[in-house]
């Protein structure tokens, strides 16, 4: 996939003056596979295979896709929790892909992460105050009183009762644990937060609470989110722009309304039509596109377009040449031969 | 019963308690429902609402202790499953009642090939010979849409993808032509495009085989697309029950209403803020003497703390367990 040029027109709500906070270019994340007696590298899982996108200050970029499409890997690589195989990641003007560990550490406060599983991402032997305060221990030389004051402030901000500061994670419900994880991410006043499936492990009634909290905090602190999720309805609610990933590449990227109303890639169409809607009468009318088969292995992606094995509109060219990403509508990018074909034909 | 047909499964007043250190957890409280031939009953609720425990209680699948099914009757035809001996119960499970679990990875045995696992109930319950069982297994895999079925019998679960494994699970559940199929969150672990495949498969199988299905899920979207009738559970009780269209069009319980409102939509206007249900699900520490939803309920009244509401009919086979009259307020 080629570079996605910066959208020329303004993506919806971000004004023309909006500054790019995150700029990712041709990011690749391949995990080697070793085999044979000599444990030589015999292949690679191409989890992320050349993605490019921008995130503007104050916006939420949603990343959607099915499991194994590389969305979480992409989120982690953007924060350099993995050493990317290739590509550049510029956050707030600094290319963090090539930064030394020492220099990277100094940038860490500006970029934080909220993890999927609040059970696994909180140390069960640390108190809530210890968990939320740990980034402060690492990155500030504040005294105890000042740290505690900040911890209380953060607990207030995420709606946790201050009295619970000395309790352990097991004493909290899933939704409350996710609030602890969010407070920890906020501790150092970050600009950019990667939210990796922050609500996937929560019940429906609790999901809404956490999403509303994330939105309030974004408004209050001017945060920029990369919101990774497989829940298309929730992404529609929270995101300003959405990128759809399939097998390690972004197949479509567009302002949220445009993407949901006028999907330009057959995969996005199928994905949207597969979401069951809580309305029995709508469900009856719906002509669902049911994709056949499963996602191919990212260690052995098909030749040509990654989606050619399941695409209902597949053409001969799709099995030969990978499509380029084109701006098919203002600010709306898609990587599909249907669009190149339309252009040459029309 | 409005439509004459005798239910295949009739559960009355089921009560299941877990004994835990320092007390009891009342996981299922006086749950009653029935299932008619050929019907698909959707059961919705959050984790801890008692939906899975209810179904496990029916089939005696809960370890006892700590679990104890304290009261109730579960009539399968004219037999009560709760008073049945262990041997008879074994014949019911996997025979007349099939079960599909949530996670297709952990519910298949990794050390046996899938052919063995499909043939097992056929040989145990139906006494088929190895050869006949194998033919039937191939037929079953074809029914659930697994290509190249005869060859794949020799494959192990790890050689199948998640969606394919769930198809294998469904094939096992269907092996003995069950009258009732209980599916506990069968698509929750799957991606949406794979979920869509499985939903299509189940709709198709229903038409072909005509069994009654209980489909447990927390996803109202799935229910809307597949169910005939819906049971909404909260805090170990039935909050509301009704035909699917009626329930989605005129939800009567504040919990059902709130659930429908908290879900963001895929179409139409985008709300600025999601509606939330404040607070946490209840702890089920004691026998409930009050409405379990009252702390989170926008319409809670004084009586809700005193008296656990009984289910009252609303007409058209729709009932609700709530003191508040939903006609007081539009959605």
Q: Do A205 and B259 touch (CB under 8 A)?
A: yes
Confidence tier at A67 by pLDDT (50, 70, 90): confident
**Closest CB from A237, A274, A279 relative to B193:** A274
Token pair, residue A334, equals 């898609």
Q: How far is CA A126 from CA A131, A166, A178, A260, in A?
A: 6, 9, 15, 42
Provide the terminal-to-terminal Cα distance of chain A, rounded to the nearest Å: 24
Which positions in chain A touch B280 (Cβ < 8 Å)? 173, 175, 206
Confidence tier at B240 by pLDDT (50, 70, 90): very high
Closest chain B CA to residue A283: B225
Quote the percentage of chain A above a pLDDT of 70.
92
- Residue A14 is predicted with a pLDDT of 46
Rounded distance between C-alpha atoms, residue A304 and residue A312, angstroms: 15
Q: Do A230 and B191 touch (CB under 8 A)?
A: yes
Rounded distance between C-alpha atoms, residue B117 and residue B300, angstroms: 50
Rounded distance between C-alpha atoms, residue A131 and residue B43, angstroms: 38
- Residue A286 is predicted with a pLDDT of 67
Give per-residue pLDDT as tens, A129-178.
999 999 999 999 999 999 999 999 999 999 898 889 999 998 888 888 99
Residue A216 contacts by C-beta under 8 Å, 6 or more apart in sequence?
A: none
**Closest CB from A272, A278, A288 relative to B263:** A278
CB B98 within 8 A of CB B59: no
**Left (φ > 0), alpha (ψ -120 to 50) or beta: where does B280 sit?**
beta
Which positions in chain B touch A256 (Cβ < 8 Å)? 270
pLDDT at B3 over 60: no
Query: In this structure, are strands B97-100 and B180-184 parallel, antiparallel, or unpaired?
Result: parallel
**Closest CB from A212, A277, A283 relative to B274:** A212
Q: Do B196 and A288 touch (CB under 8 A)?
A: yes
State how far Cα B114 lies from the chain centre.
25
pLDDT at A346 over 70: no
Nearest to residue B50, comparing CAs of B82, B74, B72, B26? B26
Q: Chain B: nearest CA to A62, how far in angstroms?
A: 14
State how far Cα B181 lies from the chain centre.
9
Give per-residue pLDDT as tens, A73-105.
999 999 999 999 999 999 988 999 889 999 999
**pLDDT (mean) for A198-216:** 87
Give per-residue pLDDT as tens, B137-160.
998 888 888 888 888 899 998 888
Which positions in chain B touch A232 (Cβ < 8 Å)? 192, 266
> What is the rounded average pLDDT for all residues in chain B?
87
Q: Do B277 and A283 touch (CB under 8 A)?
A: no
Closest chain A CA to residue B234: A205
- Residue A297 is predicted with a pLDDT of 83
- Residue B10 is predicted with a pLDDT of 93
Q: Chain A: nearest CA to B254, how far in angstroms?
A: 13
Q: Do A66 and B281 touch (CB under 8 A)?
A: no
Higher-confidence residue of B280 and A311: namely A311
- Residue B208 is predicted with a pLDDT of 85
Q: Chain A: nearest CA to B130, how far in angstroms?
A: 31
Neighbour-count burial for A108-139, b at 16+ CB within 10 Å, e otherwise = bbbbbbbbbbbeebbeeeebbbebbbebbeee
A:B CB pairs within 8 Å: 118
Assess A257–B contact: CB distance below 8 Å, yes or no: yes
Rounded distance between C-alpha atoms, residue B214 and residue B198, angstroms: 15
- Residue B60 is predicted with a pLDDT of 85
- Residue A342 is predicted with a pLDDT of 57
> What is the rounded average pLDDT for all residues in chain A?
87
**pLDDT (mean) for B303-309:** 89
Q: Chain A: nearest CA to B148, how far in angstroms?
A: 13
Rounded distance between C-alpha atoms, residue A41 and residue A33, angstroms: 6
Complex prediction ipTM: 0.77
CA–CA–CA angle A217, A213, B185 (5° rounding): 145
Question: For B69, phi and psi rounded to 5 degrees?
Answer: -85, 110
What does DSSP assign to residue B103? -
Closest chain B CA to residue A291: B193
Residue bearing tokens 């099995």: A319
Q: Where are the domains positioned within chain A?
A: 1-92+225-346
Assign domain A1-92+225-346 to a CATH class.
alpha beta
Confidence tier at B1 by pLDDT (50, 70, 90): very low
Token pair, residue A243, equals 């990128």
- Residue A345 is predicted with a pLDDT of 43
CB A91 within 8 A of CB A190: no
Confidence tier at B331 by pLDDT (50, 70, 90): low
- Domains of chain B with bracketed CATH: 9-96+176-328 (3.40.50.300)
pLDDT at A53 over 70: yes
Higher-confidence residue of B131 and B326: namely B131
**pLDDT (mean) for B185-203:** 84
**pLDDT (mean) for A208-216:** 91
pLDDT at B67 over 80: yes
Nearest to residue A314, comparing CAs of A291, A332, A288, A295? A291
- Residue A116 is predicted with a pLDDT of 84
**pLDDT (mean) for A50-59:** 94
Assess A255–B contact: CB distance below 8 Å, yes or no: no
Q: Do A232 and B192 touch (CB under 8 A)?
A: yes
Q: Do A271 and B193 touch (CB under 8 A)?
A: yes
Confidence tier at A7 by pLDDT (50, 70, 90): very low
Q: Do B280 and A272 touch (CB under 8 A)?
A: no
For every residue of B295-321, DSSP letters joined together read GG-TT--HHHHH-PPPPEEEETTEEE-
Nearest to residue A179, comparing CAs of A146, A205, A154? A154
Provide the terminal-to-terminal Cα distance of chain B, rounded to the nearest Å: 29
Which positions in chain A touch B218 (Cβ < 8 Å)? 203-204
pLDDT at A15 over 50: no
Beta-bridged to residue B40, according to DSSP, are B213
- Residue A344 is predicted with a pLDDT of 47
Confidence tier at A285 by pLDDT (50, 70, 90): low
């Amino acid at each position: 996939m080629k570079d996605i040029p910066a959208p020329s027109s303004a993506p919806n709500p971000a004004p023309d003056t909006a500054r790019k906070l995150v700029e990712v270019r041709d990011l690749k994340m391949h995990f080697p596979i070793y085999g044979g007696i000599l444990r030589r590298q015999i292949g690679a899982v191409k989890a992320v295979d050349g993605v490019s996108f921008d995130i503007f200050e104050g916006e939420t970029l949603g990343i959607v896709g099915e499991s194994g499409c590389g969305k979480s890997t992409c989120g982690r690589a953007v924060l350099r929790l993995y050493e990317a195989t290739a590509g550049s990641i510029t956050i707030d003007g600094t290319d963090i892909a090539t930064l030394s560990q020492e220099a990277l550490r100094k940038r860490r406060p500006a970029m934080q992460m909220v993890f999927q599983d609040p059970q696994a991402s909180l140390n069960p032997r640390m108190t809530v105050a210890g968990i939320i305060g740990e980034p402060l221990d690492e990155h500030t030389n504040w005294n105890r009183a000042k740290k505690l004051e900040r911890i209380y402030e953060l607990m207030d901000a995420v709606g946790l009762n201050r009295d619970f500061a000395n309790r352990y994670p097991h004493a909290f419900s899933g939704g409350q644990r996710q609030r602890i994880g969010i407070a920890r991410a906020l501790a150092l006043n970050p600009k950019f937060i990667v939210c990796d499936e922050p609500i996937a492990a929560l019940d429906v009634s609790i999901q809404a609470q956490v999403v509303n909290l994330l939105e309030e905090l974004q408004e209050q602190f001017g945060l920029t989110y990369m919101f990774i999720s497989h829940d298309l309805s929730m992404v529609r609610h929270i995101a300003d722009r959405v990128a759809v990933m399939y097998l390690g590449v972004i197949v479509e990227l567009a302002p949220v309304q445009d993407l949901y109303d006028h999907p330009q890639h057959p995969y996005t169409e199928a994905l949207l039509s597969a979401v069951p809607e809580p309305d029995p009468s709508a469900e009856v009318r719906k002509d669902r596109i049911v994709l056949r088969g499963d996602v191919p292995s990212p260690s052995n992606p098909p030749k040509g377009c990654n989606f050619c094995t399941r695409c209902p509109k597949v053409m001969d060219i799709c099995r030969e040449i990978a499509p380029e990403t084109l701006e098919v509508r203002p600010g709306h990018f898609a990587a599909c031969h249907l669009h190149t074909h339309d252009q040459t034909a029309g | 019963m409005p439509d004459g047909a005798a239910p295949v499964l009739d559960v009355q007043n089921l009560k299941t308690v877990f004994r835990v250190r320092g007390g009891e957890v009342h996981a299922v409280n006086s749950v009653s429902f029935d299932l008619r031939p050929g019907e698909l009953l959707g059961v919705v609720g959050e984790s801890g609402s008692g939906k899975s425990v209810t179904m496990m209680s029916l089939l005696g699948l809960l370890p006892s202790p700590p679990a104890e099914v304290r009261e109730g009757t579960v009539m399968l035809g004219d037999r009560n499953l709760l008073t049945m001996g262990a041997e008879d119960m074994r014949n019911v499970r996997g025979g007349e009642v099939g079960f599909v679990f949530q996670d297709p990875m952990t519910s298949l045995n990794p050390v046996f090939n899938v052919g063995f696992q499909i043939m097992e109930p056929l040989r145990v319950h139906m006494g088929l010979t190895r050869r006949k069982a194998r033919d039937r297994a191939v037929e079953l895999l074809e029914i659930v849409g697994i290509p190249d079925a005869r060859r794949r019998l020799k494959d192990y679960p790890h050689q199948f993808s998640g969606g394919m494994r769930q198809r294998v699970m469904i094939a096992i559940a269907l092996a003995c032509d069950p009258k009732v199929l209980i599916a506990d969150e069968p698509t929750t672990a799957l991606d949406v495009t794979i979920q869509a495949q499985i939903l299509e498969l189940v709709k198709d199988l229903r038409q072909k085989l005509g069994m009654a299905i209980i489909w447990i899920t927390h996803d109202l979207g799935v229910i809307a697309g597949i169910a005939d009738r819906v049971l909404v559970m909260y805090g170990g009780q039935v909050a509301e029950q009704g035909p699917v269209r009626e329930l989605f069009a005129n939800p009567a319980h504040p919990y059902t209403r709130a659930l429908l409102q908290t879900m963001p939509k895929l179409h139409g206007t985008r709300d600025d803020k999601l509606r939330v249900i404040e607070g946490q699900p209840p702890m089920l520490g004691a026998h409930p003497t009050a409405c379990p939803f009252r702390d989170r309920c926008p319409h809670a009244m004084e009586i809700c703390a005193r008296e656990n509401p009984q289910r009252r009919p609303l007409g058209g086979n729709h009932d609700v367990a709530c003191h508040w009259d939903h006609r007081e307020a539009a959605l």
